[in-house]
Structure formats: C-alpha cells, structure tokens
C-alpha cells in the first residue's frame, strides 16, 4: 500500500501541480491559511502512496491527464517523491504556523513558496524538487542507487507538452 510509482507520468504530475497552484492561490487570495491543512493531507498522501490516497492525485491520473492531448511522458519516480516530500514539509509547517502558532504571516509565506514551486512545475515542467534531488545526488547526499537514471535530469527535460 505504501509505495510510490516509478516511473511517473509527468503530464499527471503537472496536472497535480496545477491543482496545487489553484488551491494555494485561493488560500492566499482569500486569506484562508487553514487550507494548508487540506494541501498537507494531499502531499502526505502522495508521498506515502503516490496518487492512490490523494483526491487530487486520483483526479489527475484517472480523469484529467488521460483526456489531455499530450502523450504520457514517463520520468523517474524518486525525484517526484522527494518533491512531494518538500511540499509536505511546507504545508505541514504552514498548518502548524496557523493552528499552533497563530502566525498567519508565516503560513502565507510558506504557502507562497509552495505556490512558486508548483507554478514552475505546472507552467514550465520544471520540478524544483527534482532539480534539488539531482543536486543532492551530484554531491553524494543521495546515493546513486536510489535512482540511477536521475543523475542528469537535463536528459529528462524537453519542451512542455501541456
């Protein structure tokens, strides 16, 4: 049950990122920092199981991505899981800032960072977490055995399909 897909359809990942952009934008625009808790659940679910327990992941993989004209584009799963983990940290921290510290400004700042990263993925197919994953592999903090095909993410990049 607690497995992450490898490889991952980048088109579906971009659809998920688009959903995160939409929800985070609404949370910031309408000043609803508690929405970070909803986003946190989604990120934690995707880290644990990929799209299986994530409503947004299910929507992206089962309904939206298959109906887009873009062909599926398979990319390594470990960097995407790492990126979801960063999203989980940001949204859990935003939720803790709001509910635990009553620090709306901090919650908004964390959501803004999340929004920026999700926008890069959604609009330009640039996964900031994946880029960081490859840098950490390059300096040896993540062993090559975790993802042999990940050492050079530039070979996975191509112009956006979506």
DSSP 3-state of 154? helix
pLDDT in tens, 72-93: 899 999 999 999 999 999 999 9
End-to-end CA distance of the chain: 30
The whole-number pLDDT of residue 160 equals: 44
Kindly report each contact of residues 95-102 with a partner whose C-beta sits within 8 Å and lies 24 or more positions away, as own/partner: 95/34, 95/36, 95/37, 95/40, 97/33, 98/33, 98/34, 98/36, 98/37, 99/34, 99/37
Geometric angle at alpha carbon 70, from 64 and 72, rounded to 5°: 80
Q: What pTM was computed for the model?
A: 0.88
The whole-number pLDDT of residue 10 equals: 94
The mean pLDDT value for 13-22 works out to 97
The mean pLDDT value for 52-63 works out to 94
The mean pLDDT value for 24-39 works out to 93
Q: Are 161 and 71 in contact (CB under 8 A)?
A: yes
pLDDT band at 152 (very low <50, low <70, confident <90, very high): low
The whole-number pLDDT of residue 126 equals: 97
DSSP 3-state of 8? strand
pLDDT band at 161 (very low <50, low <70, confident <90, very high): very low
């Amino acid at each position: 049950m607690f497995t992450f897909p490898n490889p991952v359809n980048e088109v579906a990942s971009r659809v998920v990122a688009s959903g995160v952009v939409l929800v985070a934008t609404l949370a910031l625009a309408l000043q609803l920092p508690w929405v970070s808790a909803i986003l946190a659940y989604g990120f934690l679910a995707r880290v644990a199981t990929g799209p299986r327990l994530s409503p947004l992941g299910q929507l992206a993989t089962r309904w939206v991505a298959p109906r887009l004209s873009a062909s599926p584009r398979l990319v390594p799963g470990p960097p995407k899981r790492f990126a979801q983990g960063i999203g989980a940290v940001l949204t859990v921290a935003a939720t803790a800032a709001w509910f635990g510290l009553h620090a709306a400004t901090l919650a908004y700042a964390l959501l803004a960072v999340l929004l920026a990263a999700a926008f890069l993925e959604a609009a330009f197919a640039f996964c900031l977490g994946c880029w960081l994953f490859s840098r950490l592999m390059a300096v040896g903090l993540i062993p090559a055995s975790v993802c042999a095909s990940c050492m050079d993410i530039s070979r996975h990049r191509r112009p956006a399909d979506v």
